[in-house]
Amino acid sequence: MKLEGRVALVTGGSRGIGKAVVQALAREGAKVAFVYRSSAEAAEQIVKDLADENCEAFAIQADVASKADADAVVEQVMEKWEKIDILVNNAGIIRDGLLATMSAEDWQAVIDTNLTSVFNFCQAVTRPMMSKRYGRIINMSSVAAHFGNSGQTNYAASKGGIIGFTRCLATELAKRGVTVNAVAPGFIETDMTVDVRNAAGDQIKKHIPSRRLGLPEDISNAVLFFATEESSYVTGQTLAVDGGLTLGG
């Protein structure tokens, strides 16, 4: 098991991609703490199912947009397991709408949940990781950072911001044995995409060279690579996991 003895913290672990990441890390032997916002029942079920597989996980309710919550989560994990080796900043939301009519609240909610959360959690784990001279930080970006999707100014700004953030922090932490990378998923089958899939699922597939939508496990496999020791010479990178969507073919 590649992550035996490691401690991981995943945000947005109760559903979709985050749930797959929690399961993948735990099944590779990591102890996994994960954050959810409102899906308490789903979170408890994940913990229970993993315990049945002899995997260790626990769930914490918190709002990733809150610095105080992020600090409290990290403190709780440090108290329980004394270190954090792997941080996956996965929690995210969409509040799509044309800029002309977008409310300031919808702008701010997306920036705070998707981008400020990355600042909150990275800052909270940076010192513990630096002192251990080991760390793996993986941030969830999106192909939307590059596409000019109408109605996604807030989302694209948050996901593009994550790519720049990842590169800068990677430079700051490289000599301390901490890598910082991002994954940019394409079109993945989760609750987040359910409306678009229902409206235009088959149309979307035509634009994806692999002719299928992605599964949460396609993303967790990429996260797993960045989370292992074997990826120690890879930092500051953003890996598109999108079935070729961004190749423009």
Active-site residue set: 155
71 near ligand NDP, rule: CB under 6 A: no
Give the one residue of 128, 135, 161, 185 binding ligand NDP; rule: CB under 6 A: 185
Q: Which two tokens stand for residue 86?
A: 């792997």
Half-sphere exposure of 28 (CA within 13 A, CB side): 19
The smaller minimum CB distance to ligand NDP, of residues 132 and 205, is found at: 205
Regarding 116 and contact with ligand NDP (CB under 6 A), the answer is no
* Sole binder of ligand NDP in the list 3, 18, 28, 134 (CB under 6 A): 18
| Closer of 134 and 186 to ligand NDP (Cβ) | 186
Query: Which of the ranges 46-54, 74-82, 91-99, 171-179 carries the binding residues for ligand NDP, by CB under 6 A?
Result: 91-99
Asked if 90 is part of the footprint of ligand NDP (rule: CB under 6 A), the reply reads yes
The upper half-sphere exposure of residue 115, i.e. CA atoms within 13 Å in the direction of its Cβ, equals 21
Smallest distance from the beta carbon of 192 to ligand NDP, in angstroms? 3
Q: DSSP letter at 5?
A: T
CA-wise closest residue to 155 among 147, 144, 139, 167: 144
190-229 residues in contact with ligand NDP (CB under 6 A) are: 190-193
**CA 21 to centroid of chain Cα atoms:** 8
Residue-level length of the chain: 249
Q: Are 73 and 9 in contact (CB under 8 A)?
A: yes
68 labelled as ligand-binding?
no
What is 51-100 written as a DSSP string? HHTT--EEEEE--TT-HHHHHHHHHHHHHHHS---EEEE---------GG
- In the complex, least distance from residue 152 CB atom to ligand NDP, rounded to whole angstroms: 10
Q: Is 188 annotated as a binding residue?
A: yes
Q: For ligand NDP, which residue of 81, 121, 187, 226 counts as binding (CB under 6 A)?
A: 187
Using a CB cutoff of 8 Å and minimum separation of 24, what contacts does 199-206 make?
none
Interacting residue with ligand NDP among 22, 23, 30, 39 (CB under 6 A):
39
Task: Kindly list the residues in this chain that would bind ligand NDP in the complex (CB under 6 A).
Answer: 11-18, 35-39, 62-65, 90-93, 113-114, 140, 142, 185, 187-188, 190-193
